[in-house]
Every structure is written in structure tokens, then in C-alpha cells.
Amino acid sequence: MIIERAELLLVRLPMIRSFATSSSQKTHQAHILVKLYADGLVGWGECPSPTDPYYCEETTETCWHMLRDFLLPGIVGKAWASAEDVQATYAKLKRNNFAKAGLEMACWDLLAQRAGRPLHAMLGGTRDEVLSGVSLGVEQDTGRLIGLVEQYLGEGYRRIKLKIGPGRDVAVIAAVRERFPDVPLMADANSAYTLADLPMLKELDQFGLMMIEQPLAHDDIVDHATLQAELSTPICLDESIHSVEDARKALDLGSGRIINIKVSRLGGLLNAKRVHDHCLARGVPVWCGGMHEFGVGRAANLAIASLPGFSIPGDVSGSDKYYHEDIVEPAILAERGAIPLPSGPGLGYTVDERRVERACERRLALR
């Protein structure tokens, strides 16, 4: 295929509830949509980067810069036929995985549309629905947090993830666990702790958590191995894993027993699939993480989560958990804790261009 024209659209949506992690607080999300025109088709991708560099080093603006100045000029007008070919166009460009993921996603959408197949089928998906959990931000009021857990369990979500951070950890988990003794529960620290916090982290072992996600530094796999040897609760790695090589090394070291697969953090669907395949071969469970995606990125998350190794309900919730009005039709919604996979070609949802237009703050076209 040859991309004749590419557009970047910076789209900003207000969130239904503000979301706090140990490192940031958000009331809006501003994501870049990548729109590619090739062979009479239009492909869509999304960079769900936070606006600030507190989850990883990328931001919305670094994604815009990489796409405008390196990624799009490297592919527009050139022939390609596979996701491997797409990756080859930026082989020299280090990291910047959220930016790469937005471009690669739009290319996969084009490939799947041209093949007349749903993206999940192209990727080797074997499920017809994806099991869904929720990720709840840090709340200063534990009663309010318990109310939210109750609400989402009432909606049928299969697993609850609680963000934790210094001062909002053991007591919060204890309170939620006491109220919901049997619920599949986990904690995500977003790299807020160090090995000096070992006594507190060991206390978490008593709550029967499914896992503790990224307790230590964003760039660490060594201290995580030390910690995992001290904990009975499995560690799940998020921020530390950017590639299948990172996953292999972390698993070899014993830095964790579960991997959070994020399309964005891994630089696209092909790398996400590689991590999935590696973990499946080793018997390591994976689940699909999220970055508060709009409908385009959420559709890609659903597609990858349809692969057989995704044995744990992920963070891909219905869009009504995040946004009053998302940008795709039909809305992506969970029913009894499961989201059905679409049957149409490509991402399988239609981008509502009027809504995109209304929420678009900046655009750029390249030919």
C-alpha cells in the first residue's frame, strides 16, 4: 500500500471522573488521532499519551513532534505491505513507542480493511468477547472508593484494580478487601516505591491480591526480582517493559510473573503480539492494559486482547466509564463484564468525524 495523505488531529475529551495515580491527576485526555489515506481506504490510529511525562518520558507533544518530523515523512509515499514493513520505516528511531503505536495502528486498520477482515482475526484472535475489569484512581475518601467498587461490580466488571501510592496503600487495600472478601482485586503503584518499602509491600501479601503492578521504578527489572523473591503475591510489570526483549529479560530474572500488555507502551500491535506469543510459550499470563483510550485505541486494545494468552480480565472497560461521548460508533460497552468483538473489517467501529471535528484542537496534513 502507499499512503497518499496523512493527517494528525489533536482531540480533547473531558473525563466523567477525574483520575489520579501516584504520579498525576487528570480531568481531560488529549490524544492524537492518526488518519491515513491509502488505496481509497481511510485508516485510523491513536496515541493515548498523557500530556505530561509522569507515566513514561513521552508526552502528547513529543508524539506530535515524532509523527510530524520523523514517522510520517518516513512512510508517506513509500510502498509497504505488512506491519513489519511499517516498523522498518522507523527502524533507526529509538523508543517513542506511543508515537509509533499511533502510526502502526492506522496501518493495521488499512491492512485489515483491505483484507476485508476484522483486525482481531488478522492478529490471530480466538475469542468473541474480551473480559473486562476496571482501574480506579487514587481517592482520598475511602468510603467513596468503596462506593465506586460497588458500582462497577454491580455493572458486572470482573476484576478491580486500585491505584496505590505512599500514604494510600495498606489501609486502603485492607478496607476494600474487608468489604469485598472474594472479589478479584489487584493494586497498581505506578512505580511509587523502592526496596526501602519492603515491609509495607510484604504486608500486602495478606490480602490475596491477584498481583501488584509496577511497585518499583519505571526503568527497573533488577530490584523487582529482589522484591518478587520476598513476596508471595505475583508482581506484574507495566512501565518496565517496552519490547519482547524486555519481557524475556524480566521473566528470566524473575522480576515478575505477569505482564501488562499495552499496545501504546510497546510501540504497536505487532510488538504487543510478540510479547503475547513469548509469554504464552512460557506459560506466563498476560492481560491488556489501557491508557484511557478513545474509541480508536480502545478498538485496537480489544483486538489484541482477543488473543488466547490474555487469560486475565484487563483494564479495557466500556467507554462509558471514561467519557460522556466517545468518538466511535457504535459505543464500545461492556455487558456483564465482557465486551463483544466487532465483526466488521479493520478496527470494526466507525469514527464519528463530526464529534472528532468538535473536539479537535489542532490538525496537520502531510502529503
Binding site for ligand OSB (CB under 6 A): 21, 55, 135, 188, 190, 238, 289-292, 315, 317
- Point out which residues pair with 260 in neighbouring strands: 287
With beta carbons less than 8 A apart as the criterion, state whether 119 and 346 touch: yes
Between 76 and 211, name the residue whose CB sits nearer to Mg ion.
211
Distance, in Å, from the CA atom of 39 to the CA atom of 16, rounded to the nearest integer, reads 38
Between 60 and 190, name the residue whose CB sits nearer to ligand OSB.
190
> Closest by alpha carbon to 227, among 246, 247, 264, 201?
201
Which residues are part of the catalytic machinery?
163, 262
Min dist. Cβ of residue 353 to ligand OSB (A): 24
Between 256 and 290, name the residue whose CB sits nearer to ligand OSB.
290
Which does residue 306 bind out of Mg ion, ligand OSB, none, counting CB within 5 to 8 angstroms by kind? none
Return the residue nearest Mg ion (CB atom): 238
Distance, in Å, from the CA atom of 212 to the CA atom of 281, rounded to the nearest integer, reads 23
- Point out which residues pair with 161 in neighbouring strands: 135, 186
Min dist. Cβ of residue 189 to ligand OSB (A): 9
Task: Write the burial class of residue 181 (CB in 10 Å: 0-12 exposed, 13-18 middle, 19+ buried).
Answer: exposed
* 260-292 CB burial, b ≥16 within 10 A, e <16: bbbbbbbbbbbbbbbbbebbbeeebbbbbbbbb
With beta carbons less than 8 A apart as the criterion, state whether 47 and 264 touch: yes
Min dist. Cβ of residue 227 to Mg ion (A): 16
- DSSP secondary structure code for residue 319 in this structure: G
Between 51 and 350, name the residue whose CB sits nearer to Mg ion.
51
Cis peptide before 330 (omega within 30 of 0): yes
Which does residue 155 bind out of Mg ion, ligand OSB, none, counting CB within 5 to 8 angstroms by kind? none
Which does residue 55 bind out of ligand OSB, Mg ion, none, counting CB within 5 to 8 angstroms by kind? ligand OSB
Min dist. Cβ of residue 284 to Mg ion (A): 17
Cα 81 to chain centroid, rounded: 26
Which does residue 297 bind out of Mg ion, ligand OSB, none, counting CB within 5 to 8 angstroms by kind? none
Where residue 117 falls (left for φ over 0; alpha for ψ -120 to 50; beta otherwise) is beta
- Using alpha carbons only, give the angle 51, 26, 157 rounded to the nearest 5 degrees: 115
Min dist. Cβ of residue 203 to ligand OSB (A): 22
Between 214 and 233, name the residue whose CB sits nearer to ligand OSB.
214
* E strand or H helix that includes residue 75: helix 72-75
Distance, in Å, from the CA atom of 86 to the CA atom of 93, rounded to the nearest integer, reads 12
Min dist. Cβ of residue 298 to ligand OSB (A): 8
Between 104 and 293, name the residue whose CB sits nearer to ligand OSB.
293
Return the residue nearest ligand OSB (CB atom): 290
Between 76 and 235, name the residue whose CB sits nearer to ligand OSB.
235
Distance, in Å, from the CA atom of 217 to the CA atom of 220, rounded to the nearest integer, reads 5
Q: Count how many residues are written for the chain.
A: 367
Which does residue 317 bind out of ligand OSB, Mg ion, none, counting CB within 5 to 8 angstroms by kind? ligand OSB
The footprint of Mg ion (CB under 5 A) covers 188, 213, 238
Which does residue 319 bind out of Mg ion, ligand OSB, none, counting CB within 5 to 8 angstroms by kind? none
The grid coordinates listed for 196 are 526501602
44 backbone dihedrals φ, ψ, rounded to 5°: -120, 140
Which does residue 135 bind out of Mg ion, ligand OSB, none, counting CB within 5 to 8 angstroms by kind? ligand OSB
Min dist. Cβ of residue 135 to Mg ion (A): 8
